[in-house]
Structure 1
Amino acid sequence: MKWIYFFLILANSFLRANAQVKVKFEMQNIPPSKDSVAEYFLAGNFNNWKPNDAAFQFSKVNGDYLLEKQLPVDIYEYKITRGSWDKVEAGSKGNALANRSLNLKRDTIVKITVANWADQFKKEPLKHTESVNVHILDTAFLIPQLAAKRRIWIYLPPSYISSTKKYPVLYMHDGQNLFDQLTSGYGEWGVDELLDSLIAKGQKEYIVIGIDHGGSERLKEYNPYDSEYGKGKGKAYVDFLVETLKPYVDKKYRTKKDSENTAIAGSSMGGLISMYAIATYPKVFGKAGVFSPAFWLGKTIEADIKNKLKNLNESKVYLVAGDLEGKAMVSDMKNVFQILNPTGTNKNIKMVEKADGKHSEWFWHREFVDFYKFISN
């Protein structure tokens, strides 16, 4: 009887952890817009922040706009858009707003009032904010594996011009958001300013390569597996890094080519593809920064890591996520950490969970410092 009782408790806990509840979003007092036909969407950590996701589009019912979904019990962040981030909700004076938050525990009705829309205001033009150490390697670098072209950024350490030494290299995704406020969609990481400061204080110098994402193709290019967003192109993207971009960088710049001196990092989908890259090519990438990883869109990564675990003995992996990004985000990260470091004694595999962490550039900017120190030692 005891084992039956234990089983029932375990089953009940599992059901509670995976419970789906109903949530109904009701939009009220919608401000006017320039659109000839009004369309409203929910974008959040439940749909990888896609601003025009048809599965999260409001429907007009008797003059009101409603959206009903079944979602797991969890903590969610979201915003209202009119189909793009240029048309995201804003404050009454056009000011940017923090993400809305929903701690979903039971069937819930959420009433939403939008103050205004970002595109209704004339904005002060943003200015370039990249430091003098950042350059454009190429505005349209060919990616033969994807039949596409991308802008490639490069951060050269302060001593690069005046020295003859070689440097380790960090490859990062979402290049638009790394160095320059003008090109970033949601704010920049400020990697260049962070590095300038850390290096001035005696930290190791790295070259950083930033690869622009492909806009609407990002959810496929940063996913090595097929998903609800389409056929995954992540394997081809990582092959590009290994077969095309890295050889080019190693030839043109003074780099340390070995895996111990080659790192890769990114956030969200960039975290997923960084984990895949180091698991697939551990002899190329010896270190990885996995920020707020979207493992939920690529659960096969767990099986891949298990199958390739013996090849990751010398690898350094830094995983970080915040509690305010949702329980699934943190639990998925913990699952991967457990696979990588089952005894918890491997100092080369580190996991950081921050209570205030959100799915945002400010969070990744802050956590980048400890990641950089981790790969520099």
Structure 2
Amino acid sequence: MPLRFDLTTPETDDRPVFLSGDFCDWYPDLPAFQLQPIAPGRYQLDWPSDVALPDTLVYKYTRGGWDQVELDAWGGGAPNRTTRRTSGSCRDVVPHWRWYGHAVNPAWWPRLALDEPIPVPQLNTSRRVRVLVPFDYEQTDRSYPVLYLNDGQNLAGSGSDYGSWTVDRTMALLAGQHRHAVILVLIDHGGTERVSEFTPDRTLAGTGNGRRYLDFLVNTLKPYIDTRFRTLPAPVHTGIGGSSLGGLISLYGGLLHPGTFGKLLVFSPSLWISQTVYRDARRLNLPQPMTVYLYGGKQESRHMVSALNQLVRALQHAPERLNLTLVVDPSGRHNEATWGRAFLPAMQWLF
């Protein structure tokens, strides 16, 4: 059997796929090295019998030009591939492709559909809220799941002085995989009131207003969003997420309001600040199934991973209704850049 290249990619479009490398002076679109589609997102090429195989083959995949070369899952450059095989199959995956010189197709970016202060009567204040809808929201009549994200200042665009998750860019990347059909609601934190608003009950930082903040999300903001936009309002389609203290209050969104939030995105939660979080987790009573994505990095603190494992044990009393995964990143740190990279696989898993 000749050497076969078997390529899978979640991004499907009409552009052809080519193999390029040192064997052809890196020409990106030679007809002899065009892979043939055999299924959606699946391509194959048998090595031409009239071309000699080098001892070590160095190669990449393109969509017909170096402005359309393969990229990694986050839209960054992918290293060259190598193989010393002379027969059998090279099974490769390309998660993302450059789009005519762009890391992401500019047309796939989500649209900012709302950017305004929303009254928070529970706390006698207001809060800036932004809503990102899928790029093709206006071209459909479908309804969408919704993810409410805390610490909105640090989530889109250039973010704040702390950095950005760049969730807008991630949603554009997911659009290439047709997995972008989620409305994101970005809620700014309260500045000096952030610690209080993101901690329920009494904590090491004092008595928090987290219950009032969650009441705002459940009884003020969510009804407003469901009225303004085409949403799927049921808990199974409604998520809440955040990191650090924003991860803690997101966890409590599920613990205290499981009838509203059925999907939890919890990154590096500040479990240490709460004196009752494990007890509260053990008391979780689920009226319907809940999906939880927990993430933490080994480089954050010496206690992060052990605290997450303790939380998992506390939550595992209801496995028949709880779909939970814990992702531990060996290089993960406590910052926006880390959480931004974690956001893409979390969205793929949750939605």
**TM-score, normalised on structure 1?**
0.62
Contact 2:268 2:297 survives alignment (8 Å)? yes
Deviations 1:36-79 (A, max 9, x none): xxxxxxxxxxxxxxxxxxxxxxxxxxxxxxxxxxxxxxxxxxxx
CA distance, structure 1, for counterparts of residue 328 and residue 304 of structure 2: 10
Match of 1:265 among 224, 237, 241: 241
Higher helix share: 1
One-letter amino acid of the counterpart of residue 358, structure 1: R
Secondary structure at the residue paired with 2:137? coil
Match of 1:152 among 129, 139, 145: 129
Q: CA deviation at 1:312?
A: 6.5
Secondary structure at the residue paired with 1:348? strand
Secondary structure at the residue paired with 1:192? helix
One-letter amino acid of the counterpart of residue 222, structure 1: F
After the TM superposition, which residues 1-377 of structure 1 pair with which residues of structure 2 at under 5 Å, given as runs?
A: 133-135=110-112, 137-181=114-158, 183-308=159-284, 310-311=285-286, 314-341=289-316, 348-376=323-351
CA distance, structure 2, for counterparts of residue 224 and residue 299 of structure 1: 10
Q: CA deviation at 1:299?
A: 3.2
User: Percent identical across equivalent pairs?
Assistant: 37
Secondary structure at the residue paired with 1:366? helix
Secondary structure at the residue paired with 1:203? coil
Moved more, 196-205 or 277-286: 196-205
Secondary structure at the residue paired with 2:202? coil
Q: Against the structure 1 CA distance between its residues 353 and 374, is the aligned structure 2 distance closer, same or farther, given a 3 Å change threshold? A: same
Secondary structure at the residue paired with 1:311? coil
CA distance, structure 2, for counterparts of residue 299 and residue 316 of structure 1: 24
Secondary structure at the residue paired with 2:139? coil
CA distance, structure 2, for counterparts of residue 208 and residue 343 of structure 1: 28
One-letter amino acid of the counterpart of residue 192, structure 1: D
Structure 2 unaligned residues grouped into runs of 5+: 1-107
Contact 1:166 1:254 survives alignment (8 Å)? yes
Contact 1:172 1:266 survives alignment (8 Å)? yes
CA distance, structure 2, for counterparts of residue 216 and residue 263 of structure 1: 26
Q: CA deviation at 1:139?
A: 2.9
Residues paired across the two proteins, number: 245
Q: Against the structure 1 CA distance between its residues 330 and 299, is the aligned structure 2 distance closer, same or farther, given a 3 Å change threshold? A: farther
Aligned position for 1:10? none
Q: CA deviation at 1:337?
A: 0.8
Moved more, 271-280 or 311-320: 311-320
CA distance, structure 2, for counterparts of residue 257 and residue 216 of structure 1: 32
Q: Against the structure 1 CA distance between its residues 133 and 224, is the aligned structure 2 distance closer, same or farther, given a 3 Å change threshold? A: same
Contact 2:111 2:135 survives alignment (8 Å)? no
Q: CA deviation at 1:137?
A: 2.5
CA distance, structure 1, for counterparts of residue 322 and residue 209 of structure 2: 32
Secondary structure at the residue paired with 1:285? coil
Secondary structure at the residue paired with 2:272? helix
RMSD: 2.1
Contact 1:143 1:150 survives alignment (8 Å)? yes
Q: CA deviation at 1:225?
A: 2.5
Aligned position for 1:63? none
**TM-score, normalised on structure 2?**
0.66
CA distance, structure 1, for counterparts of residue 281 and residue 318 of structure 2: 16
When Rg is computed on C-alpha atoms for both structures, the one with the higher figure is 2
